[in-house]
Amino acid sequence: MPYRSPLLEAPRVVAPPEGHPEAGVPWHWGDPFAEQRTATRGVVVIDRSHREIIAVRGEERLSWLHLLISQHVTELAENTGTEALVLDSQGHIDTHVVLAHTAGTVHLDSDPGPVATSALPKGGKQTLLEYLEAMKFWAKVDISDETGELALLTVLGPDSGKVLDVELGAAPYAAAALPGGGFARRMPWPTRDAVDLAVPRDQLTQWWQRLTDAGARPAGTWAFDALRVESRHARLGVDTDERTIPHEVGWIGTAAHVAKGCYRGQETVAKVHNVGRPPRYLALLHIDGSPEITPETGDPVRLGERVVGRIGSVAQHHELGPIALALVKRSVPAAAELLAGAEDRVVQAVVDPDSVPGEHVAPGREAAQRLRG
């Protein structure tokens, strides 16, 4: 049965449209643009309790995870976190997770339905939990699905410290165990003041009430996504397709380590970083809002008659108007006038110049050129 947050029963709340990626949690609370403004000037709280959470415990938890995910975590200190990916053997992204290491436990939370390509010869997709269990072998780890025990709330805004009663370091991904169970984790996006709270699921409404009573404005995933798009952070399965590699969506460094070895897909990560360049990049598109239509996820981006990209997240921003993330070919001129959409929703679009990546100097290619003189 699909997940449905108890907060969807609250007055004024509006649920997402059918089939929306954020189904199951509030979309907005009556004024999504005001919610966005408050998230940038005050403080809001957003229900993201549809995210799934896996816990890994045991004395070998870090060394074991290090072999399976794209991030370097053998020395991940207590009360810190990071982001990581699970890749297939070709370096394509299966799953994106955010980690928090507290009280001898590594929690991995993800968007709903995380999957991984099976390591068995027949391949195929399996749930992330099934994949981790299959890769456990004799490692001294204990893996559990804690989605039923923990629910995620996100607090955004420069005044977040006024509503949070938790000792949390100032560095990105700083984490701390919560006294009644769960954890808090500082995040560098979608705003610089973001804090995730994984709280006991049976106390979700009490935590919500506590935060709103302290001054946090209720906000929905509309606000979260609009700010996420503005900050150019990809959402797996919306801004990615089956061919996406970490370099294309800005996950090198933040979620994928280029120097560590011994994880599936590492060869592609290292090769593209050292001697190549990704074929596409994640662009922020400004959409012409005058026709009052917008493209949809999966629609093509065209330069003239040629398809040069794919639309991902589409959002209505409180200041920028209609915006979208799109995977576009690196060969597309930065100032090109593009067409985004399909059928009767084709509109003009331009790439935000700040989202165009600088020229990547591949260390391996540069060394080879020096050897050739």
Give yes or no for residue 338 having a pLDDT over 60: yes
pLDDT at 368 over 70: no
- Report whether pLDDT(244) > 80: yes
Of 145, 177, 208, at which residue does a domain stop? 145
- What are the φ and ψ backbone dihedral angles of 11, each rounded to 5 degrees? -60, 145
- The stretch 332-350 carries a mean pLDDT of 95
Residue 54: is its pLDDT beyond 80?
yes
Which residue has better confidence, 17 or 275? 17
**What is the pLDDT confidence band of residue 1, given thresholds at 50, 70 and 90?**
confident
Average pLDDT over residues 164-171: 94
Q: Are residues 38 and 153 in the same domain?
A: yes
**One domain, residues 21 and 77:** no
DSSP 360: P
Would you say the pTM of this structure is higher than 0.85? Answer: yes
In a domain, 272, yes or no: no
Per-residue pLDDT, averaged over 224-232, amounts to 98
Decide if pLDDT at 346 tops 90: yes
pLDDT tens digits, one per residue of 131-157? 999 999 999 999 999 999 999 999 999
What per-residue confidence (pLDDT) applies to 121?
82
pLDDT reported for residue 261? 81
Residue 367 in this model has a pLDDT that exceeds 50? no
What is the average pLDDT across 16-23? 94
Q: For residue 160, what pLDDT is reported?
A: 96
Domain span holding position 21? 6-51+148-231
For residue 222, which of 95, 345, 106, 323 has the smallest C-alpha distance? 323
Token pair for 261: 């070895």
CB 268 within 8 A of CB 245: yes
Beta strands 280-287 and 44-47 are unpaired
Tell whether 93 is covered by a domain: yes
Res. 275 pLDDT band, cuts 50 70 90: confident
Amino acid at 67: L
Which of 231, 266, 288 is the last residue in one of the domains?
Answer: 231
Residue 164: pLDDT over 60:
yes
Pairing state between β 194-200 and 150-156: antiparallel
- How big is the CA angle at 210 (ends 206 and 214), to the nearest 5 degrees? 170
Tokens matching residue 3: 């997940």
Question: What is the residue-wise DSSP string for 310-328?
Answer: EEEEEEEETTTEEEEEEEE
Specify whether 19 is located in the same domain as 58.
no
**Are both 92 and 164 inside the same structural domain?**
no
Q: 175 and 45: one domain?
A: yes
Q: What is the pLDDT of residue 53?
A: 98
Name which of 9-23, 168-182, 240-254, 261-275 the model is least confident about: 261-275
Region 332-342: mean pLDDT is: 94
Does 257 map to a domain?
no
Q: What is the mean pLDDT of the chain?
A: 94
In this prediction, residue 364 carries a pLDDT of 52
For the residues 202-226, what does the mean pLDDT come to? 98
What does residue 278 show for φ and ψ, rounded to 5 degrees? -65, 145
- Tell me, what's the pLDDT at 262? 83
Name the residue type at position 138.
Answer: W
Query: How many structural domains does the chain have?
Result: 3
More confidently predicted of 123 and 41: 41
Same domain, 19 and 165: yes
Measured CA to CA, the distance from residue 247 to residue 278 in angstroms comes to 6
pLDDT score, position 371 = 46
- Classify residue 189: in a domain, yes or no: yes
Cβ-contact 16, 27 below 8 angstroms:
yes
Kindly list the distances between the CA atom of residue 278 and the CA atoms of 154, 250, 272, 312, in Å, as whole numbers in the listed order: 32, 11, 7, 18
Q: Are residues 59 and 141 in the same domain?
A: yes
Q: Which residue has tokens 């990105």?
A: 172
Whole-angstrom distance, CA of residue 80 vs CA of residue 12: 37
Q: Is residue 244 part of a domain?
A: no
Question: Does the residue 14 lie in any domain?
Answer: yes
**Of 113, 145, 177, the domain-final residue:** 145
The predicted structure's pLDDT at residue 272: 92
For residue 231, what pLDDT is reported? 97
Say if residue 353 is in the same domain as residue 324.
yes
Mean local confidence (pLDDT), 164-182: 95
Same-domain pairing of 177 and 326: no
Q: What is the pLDDT of residue 264?
A: 94
CATH number at residue 195: 3.30.1360.120
Same domain, 21 and 154: yes
pLDDT at 373: 52
CATH of the domain at 105: 3.30.70.1400
User: Is the pLDDT reported for residue 176 higher than 50?
Assistant: yes
Q: Kindly state whether residues 17 and 140 are assigned to the same domain.
A: no
Please check whether residues 42 and 164 belong to one and the same domain.
yes
Q: Using 50, 70 and 90 to split pLDDT, how confident is the model at 104?
A: very high
